[in-house]
Amino acid sequence: MTDPLIALRGVHKHYGDYHALRGIDLDIRTGEFFSLLGPSGCGKTTLLRTIAGFEEVSEGTVMLGGQDMRGVPPNRRPTNMVFQSYAIFPHLTVAQNVGFGLRRRSDLNARARDTLVADALDMVGLDGFGARAATALSGGQRQRVALARALVLKPKVLLLDEPLSALDKKMREQMQVELMRLQRQVGITFILVTHDQEEALVMSDRIAVMFEGGLAQVDEAEALYRRPASRRVAEFIGTMNVLPATVAGDTVDVAGLGPVPLSEIGHAAEGGGTVAVGMRPESWTLLAPGDPAPPRATDGTVAEVVYYGDMTYYDVALPGAERPVRVSMRNLFGSDVLEIGAPARLGWSPGAMVLFR
């Protein structure tokens, strides 16, 4: 990567005895929508705050735009942060909230400021809301005000700490799409902290998966999903059926499915531990009676049915496998949904398998 906008090298953060960041090396480019994804407490927010300058690193360097940020306070960095809580001033109007960071800008007269505020409101879809009291807004609208307030300062990097977590599912999905559109429009780097893997997959150009203060994998969404670096990443992103397996020579014997040539397996992850094989729910085919037999098929029994309208998850028990495998099927109009206890014939292919060893 040539000249990354953000470059972290050997970043450690200690809080007393607690080692919150453990040697982070990371480059983020100009104009990227980048997400930090991981379970609660893995250090996502701490990493975001070290970029913003709210935390000093214990060890290592944070470079922004080619400059070492050691000792540079947040307001002197080319970053701006949108907090989960929105942090909106209730006694001010929407426009006053958005213009708050501009009030000390002596290079701008009142008219120039008003124009910048109006542009920012327009950008987030709050055209005409300027005179409204900031308290007379829905959660989604408050989040837009917080975004406009950050964008009006024209930062090089916008840092977003779980910005959508307070919204309901529908609103969150809508805002995800709007944030993507906004990021494309303004063209600046967005760094999003989220513990919601779906949100990260939907929105990001690249995602850093974090566990216990370290980076487990940094990749594009599809690569994380299809070619996880480890079993832990595979199980954190989406659903992954993990079947015990043994390797003998150039053959992998998979519990419930039988022997598979090692060379036919789609992707091999690193990382120690016992050998196992992973398969995503959508990589199986549920065969109807009379369907032509695929090269590889296994007979099982439906153990659980989880109906989602457009699709159904079937947990299918396979003889010789300890736990049922989860299989997803799109519900085509007019097709029957199988019931618990029904026989299920599953087609599968080694190319869709991930080997963990």
State the residues that interact with ligand ATP by CB under 6 A: 15, 18, 20, 38, 40-46, 195
Among 226, 211, 221, which Cα is nearest to 269's?
A: 226
User: CB of residue 237 vs ligand ATP: minimum separation in angstroms?
Assistant: 16
User: CB of residue 216 vs ligand ATP: minimum separation in angstroms?
Assistant: 13
d(CA 283, CA 139): 38
Which phi and psi angles does 222 have, rounded to 5°? -65, -35
Q: Which residue has the tokens 């001010």?
A: 92
Q: Which is nearer to ligand ATP, 50 or 97 (CB)?
A: 50
**Amino acid at the residue 266:** G
User: CB of residue 50 vs ligand ATP: minimum separation in angstroms?
Assistant: 10
User: CB of residue 12 vs ligand ATP: minimum separation in angstroms?
Assistant: 12
User: CB of residue 24 vs ligand ATP: minimum separation in angstroms?
Assistant: 12
End-to-end Cα, the chain, rounded Å: 30
Q: Which is nearer to ligand ATP, 44 or 142 (CB)?
A: 44
Q: Which is nearer to ligand ATP, 40 or 263 (CB)?
A: 40
DSSP string, 267-313: EEE---SS-EEEE-GGGSEEEPTTPPPPSSEEEEEEEEEEE-SSEEE
Geometric angle at alpha carbon 44, from 40 and 47, rounded to 5°:
150
CB 298 within 8 A of CB 318: yes
Q: Which is nearer to ligand ATP, 201 or 276 (CB)?
A: 201
Which phi and psi angles does 88 have, rounded to 5°? -90, 140
User: CB of residue 351 vs ligand ATP: minimum separation in angstroms?
Assistant: 35
**Amino acid at the residue 99:** G
Which phi and psi angles does 5 have, rounded to 5°? -70, -40
Helices and strands per DSSP (H, E), number in the chain: 8, 21
Q: Which is nearer to ligand ATP, 9 or 195 (CB)?
A: 195
User: CB of residue 15 vs ligand ATP: minimum separation in angstroms?
Assistant: 3
Q: Which is nearer to ligand ATP, 54 or 313 (CB)?
A: 54
Q: Which is nearer to ligand ATP, 43 or 278 (CB)?
A: 43
User: CB of residue 74 vs ligand ATP: minimum separation in angstroms?
Assistant: 16
CB 296 within 8 A of CB 347: yes
Residues facing residue 234 across a β-bridge: none
Q: Which is nearer to ligand ATP, 58 or 285 (CB)?
A: 58
CB 189 within 8 A of CB 32: yes
d(CA 265, CA 263): 6
User: CB of residue 54 vs ligand ATP: minimum separation in angstroms?
Assistant: 10
d(CA 270, CA 290): 40
Q: Which is nearer to ligand ATP, 38 or 163 (CB)?
A: 38
User: CB of residue 165 vs ligand ATP: minimum separation in angstroms?
Assistant: 9
Q: Which is nearer to ligand ATP, 74 or 244 (CB)?
A: 74
Residues facing residue 314 across a β-bridge: 305, 327
DSSP string, 156-202: SEEEEESTTTTS-HHHHHHHHHHHHHHHHHH--EEEEEES-HHHHHH
